[in-house]
A and B are shown apart, each in its own frame.
Chain A
């Protein structure tokens, strides 16, 4: 495995043309890991500054939208000396396939990390077929 120093650069989300934002905030694309397991697909997103109250997850047909608001700001009377990460909201959209059981999606957030569990439908689960030995 390569050992490289990684600078965590937050990517700013691009606005579609003709769309305006209602909050004067920067919007970032959260980094995600997507992991497939036997029973489900797990989506893990880094969203520092977000908790359960400031997170909106909306599923509309096949589109899963994750919106996180960050209320943190520079404290009153403080001036910024070094700024490396931008304070801003998070937004990312995913398209789900039919293989996901949309009724049983489960989301938890802990220490600024969102964990979405997307269970697979019974139809696509890998099944092992037992082989019987005939006498």
Chain B
């Protein structure tokens, strides 16, 4: 984090990134991770076990007027091991990427891929149709389509500028 991120005015107004705009949120986030980083140095988990996740998948979020599309790169998962929960204002993707049984305990020459559990929560700043969300897992990419609610659509109004 740079000092510039503490200044809210310079932030681009990307709606989904709302949680990062509040400087206190940022500070809290930094304090949270400070202890995690500290404990990580000793190769032990913080005793409150905040991170049950071993790795964190990367996500892309795109949107248009009607929907939000969250895509995550999750190669080699079993779709049964992906757990998606939706709250009124956040989306949580949880899962467990298991090492293939036949590879277990064998001689590894190289191990670059990630295994284990992961958990990722994405804040959603607009009202959404929770019952119309659908998720698709294809070619190792998870795509979650979240339609915005009618109310959220109404809220966006264009204001015309009149000339006197």
- List residues of chain A with CB under 8 Å of any chain B CB: 2-8, 10, 31-37, 41-42, 44, 46-51, 72, 74-75, 77-85, 87, 110-113
Specify which of B61, B100, B139 lies most central, judged by the most chain A CB atoms within 10 Å of its CB. B139
Check A82–B139 contact: CB distance below 8 A.
no
Check A5–B56 contact: CB distance below 8 A.
yes
Separation of A5 and B107 alpha carbons in the complex (Å): 24
Separation of A74 and B58 alpha carbons in the complex (Å): 15
Check A85–B60 contact: CB distance below 8 A.
yes
B61 — which chain A residues lie within 8 A by C-beta? Answer: 80-83
A121–chain B nearest beta-carbon distance, Å: 18
CB-nearest residue of chain B relative to A111? B140
B51 within 8 A of A: yes
User: B53, B64, B73: which contacts A77 (Cβ < 8 A)?
Assistant: B64
User: A3, A31, A74, A113: which contacts B45 (Cβ < 8 A)?
Assistant: A3
Separation of A35 and B105 alpha carbons in the complex (Å): 10
Check A35–B109 contact: CB distance below 8 A.
yes
Check B75–A111 contact: CB distance below 8 A.
yes
CB-nearest residue of chain A relative to B106? A35
B68 — which chain A residues lie within 8 A by C-beta? Answer: 81
User: A5, A51, A84: which contacts B58 (Cβ < 8 A)?
Assistant: A84
CB-nearest residue of chain A relative to B66? A77
A122–chain B nearest beta-carbon distance, Å: 20
Specify which of A3, A10, A41, A75 lies most central, judged by the most chain B CB atoms within 10 Å of its CB. A3
Check B63–A36 contact: CB distance below 8 A.
no
Q: Could you tell me which residues of chain B, from 73 to 96, have a CB within 8 Å of some CB in chain A?
A: 73-78
A48 — which chain B residues lie within 8 A by C-beta? Answer: 73-75, 139-141
Check B113–A33 contact: CB distance below 8 A.
yes
B40 within 8 A of A: yes
Check B109–A34 contact: CB distance below 8 A.
yes
12 interchain pairs, CB-CB under 8 A: A4-B54, A33-B108, A46-B75, A48-B141, A49-B73, A50-B139, A78-B62, A80-B62, A82-B60, A111-B76, A111-B77, A112-B75
B110 — which chain A residues lie within 8 A by C-beta? Answer: 32-34
Check A111–B112 contact: CB distance below 8 A.
no
